[in-house]
Amino acid sequence: MNRAIAFAPMKSALRQVFALAFLIAVSGLSLSAQVLPVVSWTLSPITNSTDSVSGGITYLNKFETVNTFTTADGSTYFAQSSAVQADHVYVRRNAVTASNSFGVMSVQSTTSTVVQGTYYSTAEQMLLSGNILNTTADTFTNDTTGVTGRSSNVERIDFVWTAGYTVLTGDVVSVFNVDPSTSQDDFRIAIFTGWDSINNKPTSYVTTGLLINTTTSLSAGTGDGTDAGTGADYGSLLTTNYPTGTGTASTSSTSSTWSILNYTNGDSITGTGTVVFSSANQGIGGAAIKLSDLGVSTGQTIYGYSIMAPDVTPLVASDLVDWNNSTFYPTNTNQTEGTADFSTFGGRFIRPIPEPSTYGAIFMGTGLVAYGLRRRRLSRSPADDRE
């Protein structure tokens, strides 16, 4: 018997499997939205470590992180098991403004000097912690003239995968921000494709990045990721288990009271924490951005991403490289433009959870292969076995 004929059913089955896989891949790329508002999430149980004191602030050291989140298009993402976390975070500061501070928001407890969140000694530790009970505060504000707030010389934050990261179909990066229910903060995000491992800085960006913006109403989110005023890119405030008192007791709510702490020793957040003010009725909103909409393709190697104030206005991708170039990174960023309060659940590239239809296609493909092999075995004659 001709072996080519015997293998024909299996080849046909494999072709069908590949065709199904192609259709699945194409369907995964067909979504056109650049920014996906996060509409719900699941959280880990609150853990409670031993209290600690630093800079006159008592930290109750509660910890809570994100397990999964779902976006407005119905996609659900594993925020833990499928996430690939950054190796390092670098807080980039300009050399012009005098302030060398770093702001921290933490869920308030009984007084303004007792907070539920966790103490971290460096900005990098906090930004990679995954603890949603801590966030940055007024991250890129350089100038608070005439307003109440805090000022820093931070121009950009870089999340880095030092060995590179190979992009997979459907990968997203998520950003969560703390603010009132009426609005969330704008920022720009960009992927870098070159990395100087000697000086620890990006050398090239794939595009000028995407401006994530909001309107005054979070319920009207369109996820366009374009110019300010055209649509809200975050979802509504997310229901969170906010800790209360001692132990792991909590209350489920979309908002809480947050204390803003100021540290004046650069990226070190040890020993100098002072309460700037407390802000009530603020909660967490989220957005997810597909890496494909940030200018990278499946299979491409990247080294991380940068977030910066929305007043960063690059003309070409290379304008983003030098954060000390005040032409593109203004050193007078005001409180309107610079008050993003980024949740410390960041620095992760995250895969979507496959839909049931995807599993069905995989199982169907496996069945077709098995069917082809069975047809081949049944079609073989004893004479074929003696060859």
Count of C-beta atoms within a 10 Å radius of residue 381: 10
Residue 144, pLDDT score: 83
* Stated pTM of the model: 0.81
Q: What is the mean pLDDT of the chain?
A: 81
Which one is predicted more confidently, 378 or 294? Answer: 294
Distance CA 256, CA 252 (A): 10
Residue 217, pLDDT score: 37
Q: What is the pLDDT of residues 149-159, one digit of tens each?
A: 788 999 999 99
CA dihedral sign of residues 58, 62, 66, 71: negative
Lowest mean pLDDT, pick from 31-35, 128-132, 133-137: 31-35
Which one is predicted more confidently, 53 or 12? Answer: 53
Residue 379, pLDDT score: 54
pLDDT band at 24 (very low <50, low <70, confident <90, very high): very low
* DSSP line for 138-187: STT--B-TTSSS----EEEEEEEEEEEEE--TT-EEEEEEEEETT----E
Residue burial 86-116, b: 16+ Cβ < 10 Å; e: rest: beebbbbbbeebebebbbbbbbbbeebbbbb
Q: Which amino acid is at 261?
A: L
335: pLDDT strictly greater than 70:
yes
Q: What is the pLDDT of residues 345-360, one digit of tens each?
A: 989 999 887 754 443 4
227: pLDDT strictly greater than 60:
no
Mean pLDDT of 370-377: 51
What is the 8-class DSSP label of residue 238? P
Residue 200, pLDDT score: 97
Counting Cα atoms < 13 Å in the Cβ hemisphere of 300 gives 16
What does the block give as tokens for 290? 């597909």
How large a percentage of the chain has pLDDT more than 90? 58
Which one is predicted more confidently, 62 or 336? Answer: 62
Residue 336 has φ and ψ, to the nearest 5°, of: -65, -40
372: pLDDT strictly greater than 90:
no
Listed residue (343, 348, 31, 351) closest to 187, CA to CA:
343
Q: What is the pLDDT of residues 230-274, one digit of tens each?
A: 346 788 899 999 999 888 999 999 999 999 999 999 999 988 888
pLDDT band at 375 (very low <50, low <70, confident <90, very high): low
Residue 351, pLDDT score: 84
Distance CA 91, CA 280 (A): 27
How large a percentage of the chain has pLDDT more than 70? 78
Distance CA 367, CA 361 (A): 10
Q: How far is CA 356 from CA 25, 191, 226, 367, in A?
A: 15, 31, 32, 16
Q: Which amino acid is at 325?
A: N
Alpha helices in the chain (DSSP H): 3-29, 123-127, 335-338, 356-379, 382-386
Q: Which amino acid is at 371?
A: Y
Residue 190, pLDDT score: 95
Mean pLDDT of 182-210: 93
pLDDT band at 102 (very low <50, low <70, confident <90, very high): very high
Delimit the domains of the chain by residue range.
Answer: 1-30+357-387, 31-353
